[in-house]
Structure 1
């Protein structure tokens, strides 16, 4: 498995060649995706911004996610991940986005959503993709796996453009 900086470097090559900007909306990763991206020299050419919306109220205030949608599906849902990815684009200059929302642990599990549950959103080429996975491991491991998976899938979608 590639590390996050290597993936971010490859993503940068794809975005730059396609003249696209990226925005991220993160919850459970707390800015980890943006950190990996900005570790790449020259990322200012293809990275617009990142939103860290950890609380439900910040998802509403920063990303315009309706509180009713969060109440209906829960913050950790593919519906919210999709809304976060779409809102990152709506609130930036970017045309490509990714989002993460999940339960990194050790607490926070709810029925049907154990610790390690993460929902992802990607908006690439005008299409919104989502996915839900459950990772094993402690908080650090869940967050690391989330960052790597989010970047891996983004690279895949960019290469398909």
Structure 2
């Protein structure tokens, strides 16, 4: 059973409805979640917010947050996830923003990806993963896999201070 199939079964069992907010993965997480048949029972919508303007208008990410921390930050990832929840019927949202490459900078290197998970009735949490300069495709694929892992962990109730169980 694939990770997406496990997610579908677990979300169904928990009565969870999912949403995604994506930047560097450009909808790939939503695509992976909806790959198994029956995904419409657990997936509400996905937001592809590649530009800062899209993050602001579609998800309500405050412009000052983007200016202070930059698009590739846990603060912005959390705002993206919370915005996806507020603008959907989801009970759990995941957000992904990062630098897939090529490129990056000394302070924000290629392969840095920030994730956030926001439950409807809980506290958003975030993390940053350094995938390294593995190449654009590899960073994006690893980001999709990590986003699905985070959703699975939340629905399984793993991790400290987890309140993501719908």
TM-score where L is the length of structure 1 = 0.93
**Of 145-154 and 123-132, the range deviating more from structure 2:** 123-132
After TM superposition, give the deviation of residue 129 of structure 1 in Å: 1.3
**What are the Cα deviations for residues 35-92 of structure 1, in whole angstroms up to 9, with x where unaligned?**
1111110000000000000000100011011111100100000000001111100000
CA RMSD in angstroms comes to 1.2
Matched residue count: 156
Match of 1:40 in 2: 36
Within the alignment, does 1:14 sit opposite 2:10 as a pair? yes
After TM superposition, give the deviation of residue 18 of structure 1 in Å: 1.3
Within the alignment, does 1:80 sit opposite 2:79 as a pair? no
TM-score where L is the length of structure 2 = 0.90
Choose from 132, 136, 141 the match for 1:139: 136
* 1:56-75 to 2 correspondences below 5 Å: 56-75=52-71
Choose from 141, 147, 153 the match for 1:150: 147
Match of 2:114 in 1: 119
Contiguous gaps of at least 5 residues in structure 1: none
User: Which runs of 4 or more aligned residues in structure 1 lie more than 3 Å from their structure 2 counterparts after TM superposition?
Assistant: none
Match of 1:95 in 2: 91
**Of 13-22 and 140-149, the range deviating more from structure 2:** 13-22
CA distance in 1, matches of 2:95, 2:136: 18
